Amino acid sequence: MSSVVGSGRGAVTRRRLLQTGGGLAVAGIGAGALKLPFFDAPGAQQDPASCVAGDVSSSDSSLIISNWTGYIDPRKKEKGTFQQFEDSRQITVSYTDDVNDNAEFYAKVRNQLGACEPIDRDLIVLTDWMAARMISLGWIQPLDKAKVPNLHANLIAPLRGRQWDADLSYHAPWQSGLTGIAYNAAQVGEVRSFDELLHRADLKGRVTLLSEMRDTMAFVLKVQGADPDDFTPEEWENAIEELRKVVSDGQIRSFVGNDYLNDLAAGNVVACEAWSGDVIQATFENPDIKWVVPEEGLALWSDNMLVPNLATHQANAEAWIDYYYEPEVAAKLAAWVNYICPVDGARQAMEKVDASLVDNPLIFPDEQVLAETFDFMPLDDRQSQEYEREWANVTGG
């Protein structure tokens, strides 16, 4: 599968075209959901300490990775980061871009990881909240600090100290992104805040929001004056009620996970909640599309590398992580994928790679912007289930 669609740099979208996988998951709901019909089903929690496979990295120099589509520079290119890793570390990497959607990937591996069975992958890449959930389910192996020195040395400050894995024991951000607003300047006047998205009359019916609950609710909470990093159930209720009202007023055209910038470019939509990496690509093609840092601030998120239980090449996986935290490698990668580079020093290294990108705020945002970003509070499973369901009810009419 080609990671490049179209002529530009980077990929079309990190969230792939569509959630076909969701359909498959629905089809498989009966077979896949739970194991023992008409008996209780045990929890899926595991202890990573006991669910370990022997590491065969020293004898078998291979590595199996699952990542999102279009999330790496061309693997065939000799000077590319991928070839250079294989050559310098003498490790053969089997790289698949089969992560399309966090929830869908969860459904895919749930039965195996929940029963301490191998998923035949050494490294997987998932967004913060899903990484947090998998870590708390005990499905993820801790990383050996000694083997990933670059991670600990070079990770940018705003991504450190996340509530769900404060000391980077389990995860290493692959790329980061900002959630903000994009609008089509040819169709509508400047949109400055999320509040306007939800309430401005001239945007009515021509706004899309992202379909991932945390992306959108973080902003709705902000608009309501709550802190998405730490909110109470009452604040949640207020926020979801506010959204319900906005939806029933017909302000929102739809909740989307993909393809939303095509609607923006085509004029079907005049403003939308958007991910930074997607917007870069779109502005190259259509200068009318503008990226906005909303008055409420930006949400900062990462897609994180994780080593699942029973991975057999953990040392190789750690070598990979450490390699991508070298600033030159990180710069090369960032120059291609256009997301926010999580590696300190990459900005300096970028001068040699592509000087035009050094000052691009969507790859290297200034400290001020990053310092004001927010994240979504980790939810326990009960909250998560309840909130997701309420979210589904509001967005699903």
Partner 1 sequence: MAETTRRKGRVGYLLILPGGLWLLLFFAFPFYSLVATSLYDPSGSDFRGYEMSYAFGNYVDVIRDYWQPMLRSLLYGATATFFCLVLGYVLAYAIAFKSGRWKVLLLVLVIAPFFTSFLIRTLSWKLLLADDGFVVDTLQFVHILGADDRLLATPFAVVAGLTYNFLPFMVLPLFASLDKIDYRLIEASGDLYANPVRAFFKVTWPLSLPGVVSGTLLTFIPAVGDFINAEILGNTNTRMIGNVIQSLFTDANDYPAAGALSVILMLMILAMVIVYVRRAGTEELL
Interface mask toward partner 1 for 226-265; x: CB under 8 A: ---------------------x----xxxx---x--xx--
Bridge-partner residues for 302, per DSSP?
A: 176
Task: Say whether residue 6 binds partner 1 (CB under 8 A).
Answer: no
Q: Which of residues 132-151 bind partner 1 (CB under 8 A)?
A: 136-137
Task: Say whether residue 114 binds partner 1 (CB under 8 A).
Answer: yes
Name the 3-class secondary structure at 322.
Answer: helix
- Rounded to a whole number of angstroms, the minimum distance from the CB of residue 385 to partner 1 is 6
Task: Say whether residue 2 binds partner 1 (CB under 8 A).
Answer: no
- The DSSP secondary structure of 165-195, one letter per residue, reads STT-SS-EEEEEEEEEEEEETTTS-----HH
Which one among 18, 49, 153, 371 touches partner 1, defined by CB under 8 A?
18
Task: Say whether residue 315 binds partner 1 (CB under 8 A).
Answer: no
Interface mask toward partner 1 for 153-192; x: CB under 8 A: ----------------------------------------
**Residue type for position 44:** A
- For residue 72 the two structure tokens come to 């790496």
Q: Which of residues 188-227 bind partner 1 (CB under 8 A)?
A: 205, 213
Task: Collect all residues with Cβ–Cβ distance below 8 Å to 52 and sequence separation of at least 6.
Answer: 141, 309, 310
Name the 3-class secondary structure at 28.
Answer: coil
Rounded Cα distance between 173 and 171, Å, is: 7
CB–CB of 120/310 below 8 Å?
A: no
Task: Say whether residue 33 binds partner 1 (CB under 8 A).
Answer: yes
Task: Say whether residue 54 binds partner 1 (CB under 8 A).
Answer: no
CB–CB of 317/63 below 8 Å?
A: yes
Question: Can you say how many angstroms the Cα of residue 74 is from the centroid of all Cα atoms in its chain?
Answer: 20
Task: Say whether residue 1 binds partner 1 (CB under 8 A).
Answer: no
In the DSSP assignment, the letter for residue 386 is: H
- The site for partner 1 (CB under 8 A) is made up of 17-20, 22-23, 25-26, 28-31, 33-34, 37-45, 101, 103-104, 106-107, 110, 114, 136-137, 205, 213, 247, 252-255, 259, 262-263, 266-268, 380-382, 384-385, 388-389, 391-393, 395-397
